[in-house]
Chain A
Amino acid sequence: QKEVEQDPGPLSVPEGAIVSLNCTYSNSAFQYFMWYRQYSRKGPELLMYTYSSGNKEDGRFTAQVDKSSKYISLFIRDSQPSDSATYLCAFPSGGYNKLIFGAGTRLAVHP
């Protein structure tokens, strides 16, 4: 079993849709939960991070963590074409420098 599972998509949605991106993980030691966004030909950039179970909101983005189910989600409201990118969940392991990434979900938002 992989340490992190993430559906690679691709996911194609119309502009304005609500997008749900998800990851499951198996390592109970993971304490922080991160979402990165990676545009084509660019390196990943941190979108959001959270520590506890529950929801964290930042503008159109909401990160949700369910530690009991080892399941994390990222919701994007009012999706825009500029949101088209690959979204990676990531978990610091053994220090903040070592990140365990999911495979990434490719999202396309069409006008």
Chain B
Amino acid sequence: ETGVTQSPTHLIKTRGQQVTLRCSSQSGHNTVSWYQQALGQGPQFIFQYYREEENGRGNFPPRFSGLQFPNYSSELNVNALELDDSALYLCASRSAGTGVKDTQYFGPGTRLTVL
């Protein structure tokens, strides 16, 4: 196990609703990234947070937003859900300032279904 936990495991929402997904980073990790993995696809980078500030974003609209808390837990919020938002959402944590080999540790993900 990586020490990265996510909740909930599964979630079903309807189109137009809002959702909050939660992640608890591995102890000592100060950087968290969020990814979206559609069925049969590789993960796509949404954004990353370092010291409670967003410092990198992929090709996702503003209705995807996040928060990182002082205890390095974090949230992913998605507003105005669309059917295409159905996916596995992964968070990953690492310690900034380390090399590539100290890479991200992924949580098990939250499976979101939008009906």
Whole-angstrom CA separation of A13 from B35 in the bound complex: 30
Instruction: Evaluate contact between A42 and B41: CB separation under 8 angstroms.
Output: no
Whole-angstrom CA separation of A42 from B41 in the bound complex: 14
Interface residue tally of chain B, by bracket?
20 to 34
Instruction: Evaluate contact between A6 and B42: CB separation under 8 angstroms.
Output: yes
Interface pairs (25), CB distance under 8 Å: A43-B2, A43-B92, A43-B107, A43-B109, A44-B90, A44-B106, A45-B106, A46-B104, A51-B100, A88-B43, A94-B56, A96-B94, A96-B99, A96-B103, A97-B33, A97-B48, A97-B104, A98-B33, A98-B56, A99-B35, A99-B45, A100-B45, A103-B41, A103-B42, A104-B40
Which single member of A42, A96, A101 contacts B42 (CB below 8 Å)?
Answer: A101
Which single member of B43, B48, B56, B96 contacts A44 (CB below 8 Å)?
Answer: B43
**Which chain B residues border A43 with CB–CB below 8 Å?**
2, 4, 90, 92, 106-109
- Give residues 13-48 of B contacting A (CB, 8 Å): 31, 33, 35, 40-45, 48
Interface residue tally of chain A, by bracket?
20 to 34
Mask for A82-98, Cβ within 8 A of B = 1, else 0? 00000010101011111
Asked if A49 is at the interface (CB within 8 A of a chain B CB), the reply is yes
Q: Which residues of B contact A (CB under 8 A)?
A: 2, 4, 31, 33, 35, 40-45, 48, 56, 58, 90, 92, 94, 96, 99-101, 103-109
